[in-house]
Copies of this chain bind each other. A is one copy, B any other.
């Protein structure tokens, strides 16, 4: 059941009635890489109050985007996950990200979640630059671990604790983003102990260059 915000029948209006509530799309972003507990969502969205998060989850559930599930066990755990239809929101998030990428710099000091980094990696990945590159890369982030598999099919990323990787990158998401998207030298981030990696240096240096962000022409630059 969607609210009727707009007296307008077009698809854009109908989609926004389901996803346009403030924070709703960021909640979806946090769920893109699999089911999360309420406390996981809170950790990924530190700017959002528990109250508003509850409302958003209820709204997204009513819209058919999110469902609740209980993982049985000695202590059953309730998690939230995207429905099949909810998973199809990723192209919308990618389109939003692509639109700001290059025009708007990542603002230092604002929280940047693990899911944000993984979504951005998936979106900016260049199959062209990755030609011939086949490797499994692990990410050890403060709250979460992911594995990215790069091969001829592209990049596949999932939440995964595996240590069986060719390269393990450890650091906070914002610093890794600065290296990958803003051209901060990997060696600098390592020298300042903001990032560590295990694996070959050549592999690491190549991997962080697979995600070009188009520099934007001056006339489209934004002041904000």
- On A, residues with C-beta under 8 Å from B are 1-2, 5-16, 18-20, 22-23, 25-26, 29, 45-47, 62-64, 83-85, 88-89, 91-101, 103-104, 106-113, 116, 119-120, 123, 174, 216-217, 219-224
Contact = CB atoms under 8 A, between A and B. Distances in A.
A39 to B, nearest CB: 18
Contact of A7 (B6, B47, B85, B216): B47
A104 B14 contact: yes
A111 B8 contact: yes
Contacts of A25: 12, 16
Task: State the 6 A-B residue pairs at the shortest beta-carbon distance, nearest first.
Answer: A7-B47, A10-B116, A11-B97, A9-B110, A15-B96, A64-B222
Contacts of A18: 100, 222, 224
A136 B8 CA distance: 28
27 contacts: A1-B224, A2-B104, A2-B222, A5-B22, A6-B23, A6-B26, A7-B46, A7-B47, A8-B26, A9-B109, A9-B110, A10-B29, A10-B97, A10-B113, A10-B116, A10-B120, A11-B96, A11-B101, A11-B116, A12-B97, A12-B116, A16-B22, A18-B100, A64-B221, A84-B217, A85-B220, A85-B222
